[in-house]
Amino acid sequence: MNNDKEVISQFIMTSHDFKIHQTFNSPIYLDKNRYNYYIRLLQVQFSNVVPNVDSNQYVEGQLICEPGIYSIDDLMTKYNALNYGNLTLNNNTGRLILTNDTGSTLTINNSNFLSSYICNFTLPITLSNNQSITANAIVKIQEYNYFVLNSGNISGYTYTSLDKTPFQSCTTIWPFSSAMNPFQFKTWTAVQPIEFNLDGQMLNYLDFEIKDAFGRNIKVLLGESDFMVTCQIVRALKTIR
């Protein structure tokens, strides 16, 4: 019996976005009669160019902010400059408070910002002068707190469960925290073998993509992602019984 693994190819791939799909000019033949084949993840790098606000935010037709990476203090400052009341954060409850400081009755019928997952207010809002209203839920600057690395080369080995939902098979290889400063560079190196079995007789392409925690494609970027993946194709001689 021989459990030693042999490296047959190593790949270093880069991309300006969060998707790598590289097709081989000559497919790699996998001799499945003699060997088991695995894809081994060695290193992943990327920059945090993913906006936590991915569309223009408005209040009654006035622009609050464009897509970008913001703190809640940034967003409150931008909102408060528009004279549609004053937003503050209750540090004890984690909820936003909107106070009418305009000197007259404040009515807000349309605001994708106030009604978003960030603020969690219910529209329409009507407040007399100096009256306040508290958001329905805690402020949430981002819908998710981690990214996931996926590969179309593997399937049926990873199972995810979001918010206690039943397990579902997916192509996820590894999660990465999204708690990063704007444009911060992330380098992850495997400290132990991260390997997945390769099916089929031919390897025609290598496919990697970073998605959000819900498995959604990341399409809006503030700059180049500096996405890089280093991996190996390894094989192990099958046990002869």
Q: Is 159 exposed, middle or buried (0-12, 13-18, 19+ CB in 10 A)?
A: exposed
Same domain? 181 vs 200:
yes
Q: Model pTM?
A: 0.83
Mean pLDDT of 7-26: 95
205 with 122, same domain: the answer is no
Q: Which of 76, 106, 134 is the last residue of a domain?
A: 134
Model confidence over 184-228: pLDDT tens digits?
999 999 998 899 999 889 999 999 999 998 889 999 999 999 999
241 — pLDDT class (breaks 50, 70, 90): low
Rounded CA-CA distance 120/116 in Å is: 6
Distance of CA 9 to the CA centre of its chain: 29
1: pLDDT strictly greater than 50: no
User: Residue 9 forms beta bridges with which residues?
Assistant: 233
Residues 155 and 41 in one domain: yes
93 with 39, same domain: the answer is no
- Do 26 and 63 have their domain in common? no
pLDDT higher for 198 or 155?
Answer: 198
Q: In terms of domains, do 62 and 173 share one?
A: no
Contact 75, 118 (CB under 8 A): yes
177 and 105 housed in the same domain: no
Query: What is d(CA 240, CA 28) in angstroms, rounded to the nearest whole number?
Result: 24
CA pair distance 65, 40, nearest whole angstrom: 42
Query: What is the CATH classification number for the domain harbouring 166?
Result: 2.60.120.1100
Q: Is the domain of 130 the same as that of 28?
A: no
C-alpha to C-alpha distance for 186 and 17, rounded to whole angstroms: 15
Q: What are the backbone dihedrals phi and psi of residue 90, each rounded to the nearest 5 degrees, phi first?
A: -80, 110
Residue 178 φ then ψ, to 5° = -100, 10
Q: How many domains does the chain have?
A: 2
Q: Give the helix ranges, DSSP H, for the chain.
A: 72-80
> What's the mean per-residue pLDDT of the chain?
92
Domain of 182, in residue numbers: 5-50+143-237
Please report the pLDDT score of residue 132 as a whole number. 97
Phi, psi of 30 (to 5 degrees): -110, 110
Last residue of a domain, one of 106, 134, 162: 134
Are 16 and 185 spatial neighbours (Cβ–Cβ below 8 Å)? no
Asked if 37 and 73 sit in the same domain, the reply is: no
Q: Rounded to the nearest 5°, which phi and psi values hold at 8?
A: -105, -20
Model pLDDT for residues 25-74, shown as the tens digit of each residue: 999 999 999 999 999 999 999 999 999 998 999 999 999 999 999 999 99
Domain end: 134, 162, 190, which one?
Answer: 134
**Distance (Å, whole) CA 27 – CA 106:** 66
29 and 147 fall within a common domain: yes
Are 167 and 81 found together in one domain?
A: no
Whether residues 151 and 105 fall in one domain: no
Query: In this model, does residue 2 exceed pLDDT 60?
Result: no
pLDDT of residue 142: 86
What is the 3-state secondary structure of 115-162? CCCCCCCCCCEEECCCCEEECCCCCCCCCCCEEEEECCCCCCCEEECC
Which residue matches tokens 């528009």?
82
Rounded distance between C-alpha atoms, residue 174 and residue 194, angstroms: 9
